[in-house]
Amino acid sequence: MKRMGVACCCVLVLVFLAAPLLAQQAPSNPTSPEVPQAVVDRLNQLEQKVTAAQLSADNAWMLVSAALVLMMTGPGLTLFYGGLVRQKNVLAIMMQSFALMALITVMWALVGYSLCFGGDGHFIGNLHMALLRGVGAAPNPDYAGTIPQSTFMIYQLMFAIITPALITGATAERMKFSGTVLFMALWFLIVYAPMAHMVWGKGGLLNAAAGGRYPTLDFAG
């Protein structure tokens, strides 16, 4: 029994000593076979088609969302505020909503979009994209890298339109049409554009995620 135990111990010692040598002499993993170039080209084409489909879906959804917000302004607020005023002022409040839609759209194209999303200042943008200069089919990686910048511009325009329209509920039957238009134009330039840039714009004071100073959570836009 002693001899058998000694023999077992010797065998175990030899196994432990030989294991590292066997591991070093083990053949390396065989190289993976080369993939044919035709397969690589097909995979690249498939990846491009998937990316294009994703971009198209993102673009379509953003346009649908913009249309829904526009419907909230046009038929929605117009009819809602029209039901809150006296019968003789229904047409006036409806025309205010549609007139402000036209006014803000023109101001947005002239300087509004650039003041909100141009540059990287803390308080307000610049005039680099005034008259929608450079806003086209190419995405803007600072804001929306999977949709055309023109789509992003239209989507943000809907919020710029509906905000003054909401304020008309406070001025209904209290201000003349000319005074409402003048007030909304000044309010858009002095209040909305700086706040939109500070919250949503690159480098905005309240947009720490894009280079700003203070982090904020926007539960509305």
Greatest alpha-carbon pair distance for the chain in Å reads: 118
Mean pLDDT for all residues in the chain? 83
Task: Report in angstroms the alpha-carbon separations of 87 from 84, 104, 182.
Answer: 9, 27, 25
Residue 107 has pLDDT above 90, yes or no: yes
In the prediction, which pLDDT does 55 show?
A: 76
Distance CA 216, CA 196 (A): 13
In the prediction, which pLDDT does 127 show?
A: 93
Token couple for 74 = 């046009």
In the prediction, which pLDDT does 125 show?
A: 94
Residue partners of 216: CB distance under 8 A and separation at least 6 = 199, 206, 207, 208
- 144: which strand partners? 140
Distance CA 167, CA 180 (A): 10
- CB atoms inside a 10 Å sphere around CB 129: 21
Distance CA 153, CA 147 (A): 10
State pLDDT tens for residues 50-67.
666 567 889 999 999 999
pTM (two decimals): 0.74
State pLDDT tens for residues 21-51.
444 544 445 555 677 777 666 667 667 666 6
State pLDDT tens for residues 159-201.
999 999 899 888 888 888 899 999 999 999 999 999 999 999 9
In the prediction, which pLDDT does 21 show?
A: 47
Distance of CA 154 to the CA centre of its chain: 12
Residue 77 has pLDDT above 80, yes or no: yes
Residue partners of 127: CB distance under 8 A and separation at least 6 = 111, 114, 115, 118
